[in-house]
Amino acid sequence: MARHPIRTVVLGIALLAIPWIFPHRYFLQVTGLGLIYAVLALGLQLLVGSAGQLSIGHAAFYGTGAYTSAILAMKLGVPVEAAFLGSGVVAALLGLTLVPILRLRGNELAVATLGFGVIVHAVMLNEEWLTEGPFGIMKIPPFRLGPLVFDTEFRFYYVALAVVAGTYVAFRRLTRSRFGRALEAIRQNEEAARTSGINPLVYKSKVFVIAAFTAGLAGALFAHLNRYLNPNDFTLAESINILVMVVVGGLRRLEGAVAGALIIVFASEYLRAFKEYRMILFGALVVLFVALGAEGLPGLPGKVVALMRRWIGPAARRRAGELGDG
């Protein structure tokens, strides 16, 4: 995007103008949620799309961040700004404890991260002294930055947008550096990466910690947007939901993760109008996107053109043949 400064400026102005053009509370609430999921999906994109490490436990870091920020701010009286950063740090430390299982590959790693997610959820549910258990934590203060209090959906939008933009720029720099090249090498051929002098365990550990850190920040955003936390916000289904966003947006490209998050959040919210058919439509939508393969949404135009060629091509020839017969 640095090569297209005009496009970047136009996109930036458009993003900043959205709450002024569409000032509806419900829309902004959904958009804020979509931006939180964009941060989560970006982290998982780095993990799955770049490094090829399949994790089905991302909600564990998300939830850890959310609870950390709420507990720090409410029980320990830490300023919200510091609690926000603290949530990333605590989630990253939790990610560090996963280093021993990073020797596992593919499906084994996926199952291990799944188990990890279940454990963290169980802690949220049962350690009532810390998390209030199934009742959840209520009356969480809004996000603030010095004298600025982001207590409306309108204001919160800008906080979430800043975190998404920061995460996106940081990850873009990472993926385009020596670090990103090492992740790509590990995903595409781990043995060739190792014999080229790369220690995969070091890079897998770093990428897990980075993904956990950003998921922790997303959790803190959620805590201060929703103002109420409950363990059921951070279940296995949530981890899978984030993974679906990454797949829908297309593995590989960071933009895809942001698009996937917004599509899934908006689809599941606005499909509510279809009541009990909602999940059927949602499922069909996901199947459609997954059928697009690793390219995800960005691959759609190419696939449509290829399909049209296949269907229209022979039909046109048949018509030409009929004309010839006539």
Partner 1 sequence: MANNGLLIAEGLSKRFGGLAALEGVGLAIAPGEVRGLIGPNGAGKTTLVNILSGVLAPTAGSIRFAGHEIGGAPPHQVARRGIRRTFQTLRIFPEMSVLGNVAVGYHAHTRAEVLDALLKTRRLRREEAETQAKAREALAFAGLAVDPEIPAGALAYGQQRLLEIARALVADPKLLLLDEPAAGMNPAECDHLLGLIRRVQSRAITLLIIEHRMDLIMEACDRITVLNYGRNLAEGTPAEIQAHPAVIEAYLGQQQRA
Beta bridge partners of 149: 144
- From the list 5-13, 124-132, 186-194, 296-304, the region that binds partner 1 by CB under 8 A is 186-194
Q: What's the closest the beta carbon of residue 176 comes to partner 1, in angstroms? A: 8
Q: What's the closest the beta carbon of residue 191 comes to partner 1, in angstroms? A: 6
* Rg, Å, the chain Cα set: 22
Cβ closer to partner 1: 49 or 249? Answer: 49
Tell which residue, 37, 235, 237, has the closest CA to residue 125.
Answer: 235
Whole-angstrom Cα distance, residue 10 to residue 7?
5
Q: Is 189 in the site for partner 1 (CB under 8 A)?
A: yes
Report residue 91 as tokens. 């989630």
The identity of residue 128, as a single letter, is E
Per CB under 8 A, the list member of 99, 198, 236, 267 interacting with partner 1 is 198
The secondary element (H helix, E strand) that includes residue 145 is: strand 143-145
Per CB under 8 A, the list member of 27, 158, 179, 282 interacting with partner 1 is 179
Q: Is 322 in the site for partner 1 (CB under 8 A)?
A: no
Cβ closer to partner 1: 117 or 200? Answer: 200
Q: Is 8 in the site for partner 1 (CB under 8 A)?
A: no
Whole-angstrom Cα distance, residue 214 to residue 166?
10
Q: Is 295 in the site for partner 1 (CB under 8 A)?
A: no
Q: What's the closest the beta carbon of residue 49 comes to partner 1, in angstroms? A: 11
Would you mind telling me the total number of residues written for the chain in this entry?
326
Whole-angstrom Cα distance, residue 182 to residue 50?
9
Whole-angstrom Cα distance, residue 197 to residue 45?
25
Q: What's the closest the beta carbon of residue 150 comes to partner 1, in angstroms? A: 25
Query: Interface with partner 1 by CB under 8 A: which residues?
Result: 170, 173-174, 176-182, 184-185, 188-189, 191-200, 206, 210, 252
